[in-house]
Amino acid sequence: MILPHGRARLLILCTALTLLVGLIMVSPAAAAPSNCTNNRSLKQVTDEPVANTMPVLFVHGINAGADTWDGPVGSDSEDSFPRKVADLSRVSAFTFDYKPAQPEWVTDPRIGPTLRLAINCLAQASGYKVMVVAHSMGGLATQYAVSLPNGRSGGKTWQDVAEVITIGTPTRGSITASLLHHLPVAAARAPALRSIEGILGVCALYGRVNDDSMCGIVDMLRSPQGRALAYESEDIKKLPPWPKDLPVRAIAGDIKLSLNSVFGVTSLPEASVGDLAVSLGSATAYTNKTGTPRVLTCRNNQVPLRVLGSDCNHVNVKTQPTVVATAIKQIKRVQREQTGLRAPELAYASGNTVSLWTDGKAKALATIPTGYRVQQIAWSGSGLSIAWTATKGNGSASRVYLARRGRGEPPAHARIHEWECNDCSTIAFRGEELVSDGASTAERAALWSYPSLGEPRKLAPVSSLRPIDGCFGPACGRLDLLGPGPDGTVSAAYIDAGGNFTGVGTLYRIDAQGRVDRLDGADGSGLLGTVPILSPRREKIAITWFGHLSACEEYSGVSVLDQTSGQVTQPHLPDLPGNVWLVSSWFDSKGQLHAAFRSDQGCENIDDQFDSNGQRIHRWGATHVYRLIGGRWVETNEAPVLAREVHRGGRTASLLGTPPDTAPAGLAEGRLVAQNAANKTVDVAQKAHAFAWRP
């Protein structure tokens, strides 16, 4: 068909606009964290980093979807219950949506089993147990999900859950559902039965203008799902019991109904009808370790037509302000408890032992072979995995170690795996996956990936790096790991051009599939002191670089990669006489970079440039400490340290000692001190040479 010119243009325009509107409508508000995206039922409420937050998972009930938490129709979703929770400090909020699986029962693979995967994934990604807020049948879906394995040896999903709050969950079933399915309701007392039957009559063929109306719930209870929800149904009885060690808190709505009727009788006994869909007895039938259930009572709804819109009815109760405030108070408490349970833990290496230190108590985690020395210690974002590298004194061999423990297990229970890795120098966690450099060549870009169960390491290819542009030397084509990036990525520098006199290379962020995001480049002739220096919240990485202009003009400095923007700040070296060298750099609790520098006078016109071992002789001046303010180094009166790391909670660990004569000073040995619970600085170990706070 050939359309006139103008009409064709109009048609194209309308189609384009329709497509555009469609695209806008189907775009999710925010994606789940990258390592949980396989679970399409899971959506994060706000797009925030998940690591080190306590996830709160909202599970809706029968005849609903994730939007049920937005509150009554017309309310502002920006002010919704999940949004309020997402705005809490160190809390992330998620919704679990099983609407496509309705009207199936909670054992359907798309409901309970998928919910358990979501819980396991969030616990892994965050490093915290998950708090579940479940409405109606969502509580039964949770009851089923927590009984399922959590994917770790012998573990169950409830071990990944901190607490469950059920709101209007029919633990014994729903009398209303029984009535609608003409099933016996012997347990229902007459006043409640009378009142509920009146409501069911009112709701017969009720105009379904509003899907989320009370009568919508009555309609849904007529479905096969509703039959399963009948009072003391076989389906409910078959559910595994709640685990005895899992705290479960019940919140219920209770409408005290006293129908006046047209008969003029005002002395009818008040009847408790629960939230109309679920009786009070059923909604509060199970609590554990949380005291008495919280009951929201509504009395001012004598007229049945108004009862349908009561704050206490099954639909409204879950977003009623008192209920929301109660739940948020508990979420804050659980978050505090989880944080408190995890006192900052410092891993360190001294001699041939790797140990964990917490508030003055140290425990040996592992020993490394004699003659080896730990070069780097790294924690995964969840804090459940720790890895370190060890190199033989003469640099002829290296090994990579990985210890992973279950949630809440003591360090002694960690299983340790090790691999030979003579070609790698840096390790980092990409999400929870341990990777190292050493697999990349000028012909092939790749990382080594280390399986958590100790199987042989695998090549993890990296795609779409910028082509190498004529670089030379052993570093050419090498991927040096800088540290963990956001959203389960790892940040790396790629030496792709030039030689001694050009840049460190291009910086990239590499995701779990090996896809890259190109970031800024960085100055210097190469990386130096390759141990990544992370800011407390891991949003910045200090890149230590080395510059070489001639044999007598060498120097080193530090640049900052902002992991959020991908930009690199490259401050000029401080104004010191001679060649300036970095001693150490660290971030303070606010994420500001500090650095200690010293200088030597170079070697021009000096006869004894090298010692008997062929090492350059440096003639060091004093060490000065600077703070990076507005892209410039400003000298401070702080005492220099060999290394320092500040935990995100504010505690500081420092390696103290005299910088060695050799440059760089990055892997020096010294006295390790740290702040304990009383914020007093105490000795941790002598002759320590690597350390890292658990995030």
Partner 1 sequence: MRKWIFGVSGGLLLIAVVVYFVVGNRSDSDTDSAKPPGQQELPYRPGKPVPAQVADVVQDLVADDVQTQRAALTPEWEKALPPGRLLAKGSRLELRKNSWHEEGGYANAQATLKKPGESAQRVLLAFAQRDGAWQITLAEEIK
* Contact residues: partner 1, CB under 8 A: 6, 9-10, 13-14, 17-18, 180, 182, 190-191, 193-194, 197-209, 213, 222, 259-263, 265, 267-269, 303-305, 308-309
Nearer to partner 1, 308 or 331 (CB): 308
**CB closer to partner 1, 269 vs 614:** 269
Q: Which residues fall within 8 angstroms of residue 550, CB to CB, at 6 or more apart?
A: none
Q: Which is nearer to partner 1, 145 or 199 (CB)?
A: 199
Cα 479 from chain centroid? 26
33 vs 36: CA distance, rounded Å:
5
Instruction: Output the smallest distance, CB 138 to partner 1, in A.
Output: 25
**Smallest distance, partner 1 to C-beta of residue 297, A:** 21
For partner 1, the closer CB: 197 or 409? 197
Query: In the complex, what is the shortest distance from the CB of residue 207 to partner 1, in angstroms, rounded to a whole number?
Result: 4
Residue 393 to residues 352, 355, 369, Cα–Cα distance (Å): 12, 20, 11
Minimum distance, C-beta of residue 200 to partner 1, in the bound complex (Å): 4
- Measured CA to CA, the distance from residue 174 to residue 231 in angstroms comes to 5
CB of 20 to partner 1, least distance (A): 11
* Residue partners of 609: CB distance under 8 A and separation at least 6: 552, 603, 616, 617
Minimum CB separation of residue 267 from partner 1 in Å reads 7
Nearer to partner 1, 184 or 309 (CB): 309
Question: How far apart are the two ends of the chain, measured CA to CA in Å?
Answer: 65
Q: How many CB atoms lie within 10 A of CB 228?
A: 24
| Minimum distance, C-beta of residue 296 to partner 1, in the bound complex (Å) | 21
3-state secondary structure 661-683: CCCCCCCCCEEEEEECCCCCEEE
Q: Which residue lies nearer to partner 1 by CB, 91 or 217?
A: 217
Identity of the residue, 257 or 646, whose beta carbon is nearer to partner 1 in the bound complex: 257
Nearer to partner 1, 320 or 436 (CB): 320
Beta-bridge mates of residue 628: 633
| CB nearer partner 1, residue 169 or residue 213 | 213
Provide the minimum distance between the beta carbon of 310 and partner 1 in the complex, in angstroms, as a whole number: 12
Give the residue from 590, 522, 589 showing the smallest Cα distance to 556.
Answer: 522
> What is the SS3 string spanning 280-321?
HHHHCCCCECCCCCEEEEECCCCCHHHHCCCCCCCCCHHHCH
In this structure, what DSSP letter does residue 104 have? S
Give the residue with the Cβ less far from partner 1, 273 or 510: 273
Q: How far apart are CA 548 and CA 555, in angstroms?
A: 7
Shortest distance, position 192 Cβ to partner 1, whole Å: 9
Q: Find out whether 379 and 694 touch, Cβ atoms under 8 Å.
A: yes
CA-to-CA dists, residue 654 to 588, 646, 650, 668, angstroms: 12, 9, 13, 12
Q: Provide, rounded to whole angstroms, the least separation between the CB of residue 206 and partner 1.
A: 7
Q: DSSP letter at 412? A: G
